[in-house]
Amino acid sequence: MKMSAVDVLVAIPLIPLLPVVVTWWLPWDKWLPGKIPKGILGPYFLYACFGAWYFAMSWWVVAVIGLWGATLTVVAMVQENERKQEKE
pLDDT digits (tens, 9 = 90+) for 13-61: 999 887 777 776 777 656 666 677 888 889 999 999 999 999 999 999 9
Beta strands in 1-88, from DSSP E residues, in sequence order: none
- Residue 48: what pLDDT? 94
CA angle at 54 for the pair 49 and 56, rounded to the nearest 5°: 95
Per-residue model confidence (pLDDT) at position 60: 96
Cβ–Cβ under 8 Å, residues 76 and 38: yes
The pTM score is 0.83
Report the Cα 3 to chain-centroid distance in Å. Answer: 23
- Predicted local confidence at residue 32, as pLDDT: 65
What ranges do the domains of the chain cover? 5-28+35-87
Q: How far is CA 68 from CA 26, 48, 73, 85, 86, in A?
A: 20, 10, 8, 26, 27
Q: In this predicted model, what pLDDT tens digit does every residue of 49-84 receive, in sequence order?
A: 999 999 999 999 999 999 999 999 999 999 999 999
